[in-house]
Amino acid sequence: MIKLIHVVGARPNFMKAAPVWNAINKMTDFNQVLIHTGQHYDKLMSGIFFKELQMPAPDYNLNIGSDTHARQTAAIMIKFEELVNELKPDLVLVYGDVNSTVATAMVCSKLSIPIAHVEAGLRSFDRRMPEEINRLITDQLADLLFTPSKDGDANLIKEGIPESKIHFVGNVMIDTLVRLLPKADIPNKFQNLNQYVLVTLHRPSNVDDARSLRSILHNLEMISKSIPVVFPVHPRTKKMITENDLNILNNINFHLIEPLGYLDFLGLMKRAVTVITDSGGIQEETTYLGVPCITVRENTERPITVSIGTNQLIGQDIDRIPDLVSHAVNRKKRSNVIPSLWDGKTSERIVETLIGYCKNIS
């Protein structure tokens, strides 16, 4: 019996781990353990996803919570080291680029436990982003690197990772999207909206500075005078809005709401005129759905969403948003170009590779 540990910690991990967990669950020769670091802990940032994505409740929760980067990363390492020494896994799977990913990869590496990194090789080449640091370190330490697109392979090779460790398997998050798309619908509260713009913003570069957040909110409020805007607000953003008294309540077309679960958000995304975001995953999901995406960032670690998908980077050029929105309103048809291997079968390819790898190490 091969013992695998999956580590999840923050919201974008859950939709990546779920399909891999479910694919491995069909195999008889694996025993899997799910560890949640507790980096995200609110029901709406964490709990709701396990039910919707049909994942079991975590076997262990490290209950780390929020803190500075160093303190959060260190706390995860200390607790995870104890647990992993007790569980003695044959391999640990880590996902994406959050602090939980790098913290647990560092622990495994020093204990000589093989690491598989799902969503390897993505690079924004912007080291001001904490996620870029997490990606660089995790990829250096991983033994198996599963990439979502070929640019990932090229980045890893340039960084000296041996080709034998790199496996281009496609985008695992799209497995979840493909499976749940038929079940996803617009939440009742918004069923009467014919057209709307969907917004998510949580990057420190956009929301931690009150002036920048105020300017974004001002633009969104202007847009909402001609088309409704639905904005599920991330806790980090909510905190800034409250602390700086930025709440905009004078326009009934501007819907600032609590974070949504996976199905409600996907339901809103698939029918949106356009999505305005600074998330990584949403750039990919909109590419798959053919929904125009306006990304409020200078760069992206997912360039394929710009080169063949529907994504447009606007940096800090917030004033461009109204024009781009009206362009999206007037567009005649959806794009239907989907990157290679974003086909809903990535988790199967991951499992095949894991089986081969584990045979060699056992």
Q: Which of 135, 103, 109, 106 is nearest to 122 (CA)?
A: 135
Distance CA 94, CA 154 (A): 21
Single out the segment in contact with ligand UD1 by CB under 6 A; choices: 34-42, 179-187, 193-201, 296-304.
Answer: 34-42
Site for ligand UD1 in 58-77 (CB under 6 A): 66
Residue 154, CA distances (Å) to 122, 143, 305 in order: 10, 17, 16
Residue 323 exposure: Cα atoms within 13 Å on the Cβ side: 6
By C-beta, is 38 or 292 nearer to ligand UD1?
38
Single out the segment in contact with ligand UD1 by CB under 6 A; choices: 53-61, 91-99, 242-250, 294-302.
Answer: 91-99
Q: Are 180 and 201 in contact (CB under 8 A)?
A: no
Draw the binding track, 202-241, toward ligand UD1 (x: CB under 6 A; -: no contact). x-------------------------------xxx--x--
Site for ligand UD1 in 100-159 (CB under 6 A): 130-131
The reply to whether 36 belongs to the active site is no
By C-beta, is 29 or 42 nearer to ligand UD1?
42
Distance CA 320, CA 322 (A): 6
Site for ligand UD1 in 10-29 (CB under 6 A): 10-12
By C-beta, is 149 or 206 nearer to ligand UD1?
206
User: Catalytic residue among 6, 40, 167, 202, which?
Assistant: 202
Site for ligand UD1 in 261-320 (CB under 6 A): none
By C-beta, is 95 or 288 nearer to ligand UD1?
95
Distance CA 145, CA 81 (A): 22
Tokens 């949403």 sit on residue: 282
Q: Which residues partner with 211 through β-bridges? A: none
In the complex, what is the shortest distance from the CB of residue 92 to ligand UD1, in angstroms, rounded to a whole number? Answer: 17
By C-beta, is 109 or 124 nearer to ligand UD1?
124
In the complex, what is the shortest distance from the CB of residue 131 to ligand UD1, in angstroms, rounded to a whole number? Answer: 5
Q: Which of 114, 106, 64, 71 is nearest to 89 (CA)?
A: 114
Termini Cα distance of the chain: 9
Amino acid identity of residue 292, one-letter, is: P
In the complex, what is the shortest distance from the CB of residue 88 to ligand UD1, in angstroms, rounded to a whole number? Answer: 27
Q: Binding to ligand UD1 by residue 42, rule CB under 6 A?
A: yes
In the complex, what is the shortest distance from the CB of residue 133 to ligand UD1, in angstroms, rounded to a whole number? Answer: 9
Q: Which of 331, 237, 239 is nearest to 277 (CA)?
A: 237
Instruction: Give the interface size with ligand UD1 as a residue count (CB under 6 A).
Output: 20
Distance CA 354, CA 346 (A): 12
Residue 75, CA distances (Å) to 55, 62, 99, 100 in order: 25, 9, 11, 10
User: Which chain residues interact with ligand UD1 by CB under 6 A?
Assistant: 10-12, 39-42, 45-46, 66, 97-99, 130-131, 202, 234-236, 239
Q: Which residues are catalytic?
A: 202
